[in-house]
A and B are shown apart, each in its own frame.
Chain A
Amino acid sequence: MTKVKTAVKAKKVRLDASDRIVRGFAYVFISLFAALCLFPFLLIVATSFSSEKSIMQYGFQIWPREFSLYAYQLIFKTPMVMIKTYGLTIGLTVAGTIIGLFIVAMTGYALCRPDFPFRNGISFYIYFTTLFSGGLVPFYLLVVKYLHLKDSYFAILLPLLMSPWLIILMKNFVKGIPFEITESGKIDGANDFKIFTSLILPMMTPGLATIGLFIALGYWNEWYYSSLFLSSKVDVRPLQYQLYRIINEVNSLKNSVAGANIVVTDLPDESLKMATAVLATGPIIFLYPSVQKYFISGITVGAVKG
């Protein structure tokens, strides 16, 4: 009896030398690659805590040669810049995500209704925009000349609300909800919208979380529309665009700590840029591990069907 059992066991678990080699190599390679992914961030953090003098002398180091909080002190002496920037970015992100997510979910549900005769036409209408585009110039002219949205935060809020890919992704999530739910709602006399808000939405939580996070990340990291539509007249800019200005324009760097009454030549250029970058990216780095599973589900669900 026992002899048979051990024979079966031996068949299932067979680790030979080739397994050990591959497995060992896997651990080494993945560790190295993961460390490589992390490394540039350590560089930025270390530089932000380095004295400007040591940067001039030794360059950017992985560990501060001479520790200094000066850059951060400067920023916190004039906190209003950072506070307003954060406030704007958070406001845009929250508003855009709520509005965009609701529209995408609503559209996704409607386009998944098998009894809706216009769904293929509308789906193609939306999808076609990924095939052909008028390009940047007509879009720019539309927003600036015809919609008069130059220097307006709406020029940032509106374009990021949704995308064809997100709607397709939402459809994939909605497909899993059985039509019987809608039918039972209709029997109870509810109209399509009521069915959507009361019955369908609560069942869509994982899909809502995933797509909501995609939209939110889009707003948080936004700098492109800001660079197109926000001129120097606009004081408060979204976070990443503010970082862009600080890195690329000396004036912006000076203005970001203008209230601290620093002599321009004493400005710790490099460490200040890095400190701003750390503050601009910190939240993402702390938050993303807990939400990354939603992004993963987004790719896998999306990859299953285009």
Chain B
Amino acid sequence: MAKSIAAAPVIQRSVKKMSTWQTIKKYHILLLMCLPAITFFLIFSYIPMPGVYIAFTNFKYNLGIWHSQFVGFKNFEFLFRTGEIWKLTRNTVLYNLAFIILGNLLQIFIAILLNEIMSYGFKKVTQSMMFLPHFISDVLVGLLVYNLFNADYGFINSMIRSFGGEGLNVYSNPNVWPWLLPLINLWKATGYGSVVYFAAICGIDSEIVEASRVDGANAFQKIRYIILPQLKGTVIILLLFAVGGILKGNFGMFYNIIGKNSVLYDTTDIIETFVYRSLMTNFNFQNASAVGLYQSVFGFFLVMICNKIVKKIDPEYSLF
């Protein structure tokens, strides 16, 4: 026994271990191939990171980041005291929850229905139509919403007036939007999002499905007891990843629909629209930076937690 243990280190020592420098030289071409990407992220992602320091300063553009006056947490104090950060967090999280939950429900629903349809031509045509909203820019989405809901000329108001009613002015009514925005998001994202679920359903072993039919299951039972349980894994993973990003996103849609309409900010301003406006319209670099840092830090912890949960459920799907 003692002999074999003593022998092991000798064997290891006789295998040459390359120094880091030698490894670099050996794989230098692969390293060079990675260099453009490494440089890209260095410049656009890593170098800006220390810039979060701006959140702790009274930033003046001509003084630059490092010479502006340091003020500690004053910017954060202000944003918390005025309730701004709370309002933004509430809006961002609630809208994202609505988008995620409603979105996934409708996507699963559509995927299941699509699976029932036998006609290949019908599937292709309708899928093309359902994908269309995904390919357009957010600018166009804003215009489409304007087309429908504009107080003077909007299609919906024209319809209402032609039936004798009085039009509605959604652009001056903040309370409509918590309902309207999720619907708009459903319109834009469902068709494309249903693809993942549809692919998952197609991947279900057809023998299981056929066996259930032989056993006497009807269509509803088939969906409830065979298809839905098979989707559970996909759903959970997708939901968890979405929740990890719950403080982010949707800037394009919100900014193009709401824009600079401050009447609506109470119920529609999310973190990213506030940051963008603070920077571009108000030139308030420190507030924009403070909220941005808040988003990054809490977002980071959220993703970590969600990833830990995903790891527990199915380690194969965890991000690292």
- Interface stretch of the complex, out of B4-12, B90-98, B262-270, B273-281: B273-281
Pair B113/A26 contact, Cβ less than 8 Å: yes
Q: Name A30's contact: one of B34, B50, B110 (CB within 8 Å).
A: B110
Pair B147/A44 contact, Cβ less than 8 Å: yes
Interface residues of A in 201-231 (CB under 8 A from B): 217, 221-224, 227-228
Pair B293/A135 contact, Cβ less than 8 Å: yes
Q: Which residues of B have CB within 8 Å of A138? A: 48-52, 54, 65, 289
Bound-complex Cα distance A135 to B142 (A): 25
Q: Which residues of B have CB within 8 Å of A306? A: 241, 317-319
Closest partner residue, chain B, to A126 (CB atom): B41
Give a binary string over A295-306; 1 marks a CB under 8 Å from any B CB, 0 the rest.
110011001011
Binding site secondary structure of chain A: helix
- B72 smallest CB distance to A (angstroms): 18
Interface residues of A in 48-64 (CB under 8 A from B): 55-56, 58-62
Closest partner residue, chain A, to B29 (CB atom): A192
**Given A44-B143, A58-B158, A137-B54: A110 and B30 interface contact (C-beta under 8 Å):** yes
Bound-complex Cα distance A303 to B223 (A): 22
Is A256 in contact with chain B by the CB < 8 A criterion?
no
**Given A136-B279, A192-B30: A43 and B114 interface contact (C-beta under 8 Å):** no
Pair B285/A137 contact, Cβ less than 8 Å: yes
Pair B196/A300 contact, Cβ less than 8 Å: yes
Q: Which residues of A have CB within 8 Å of B226? A: none
Pair B187/A36 contact, Cβ less than 8 Å: yes
Closest partner residue, chain A, to B27 (CB atom): A116
Is B296 in contact with chain A by the CB < 8 A criterion?
yes
Pair B34/A107 contact, Cβ less than 8 Å: yes
Closest partner residue, chain A, to B114 (CB atom): A30
Bound-complex Cα distance A258 to B223 (A): 60
Q: Name A224's contact: one of B157, B252, B259 (CB within 8 Å).
A: B252
Pair B37/A107 contact, Cβ less than 8 Å: yes
Pair B136/A221 contact, Cβ less than 8 Å: yes
Pair A145/B41 contact, Cβ less than 8 Å: no
Bound-complex Cα distance A228 to B122 (A): 43
Is B214 in contact with chain A by the CB < 8 A criterion?
yes
Bound-complex Cα distance A21 to B137 (A): 38
Q: Which residues of B have CB within 8 Å of A221? A: 135-138
Closest partner residue, chain A, to B238 (CB atom): A303
Interface residues of A in 159-176 (CB under 8 A from B): 159, 161-162, 164, 167
Is A78 in contact with chain B by the CB < 8 A criterion?
no
22 pairs from A and B in contact (CB 8 Å cutoff): A23-B116, A30-B126, A35-B129, A38-B129, A41-B144, A44-B147, A58-B158, A59-B157, A126-B37, A129-B41, A132-B49, A133-B49, A135-B293, A137-B279, A162-B37, A167-B37, A192-B27, A192-B33, A273-B143, A288-B135, A289-B128, A295-B131
Question: B-contacting residues of A (Cβ < 8 Å)?
Answer: 11-12, 14, 16-19, 21-23, 25-27, 29-31, 33-38, 40-41, 43-44, 47, 55-56, 58-62, 103-104, 106-107, 109-111, 113, 116-118, 122, 124-127, 129, 131-142, 145, 158-159, 161-162, 164, 167, 191-193, 196, 217, 221-224, 227-228, 240-241, 243-244, 247-248, 270, 273-274, 277, 280-281, 284-285, 288-289, 292, 295-296, 299-300, 303, 305-306
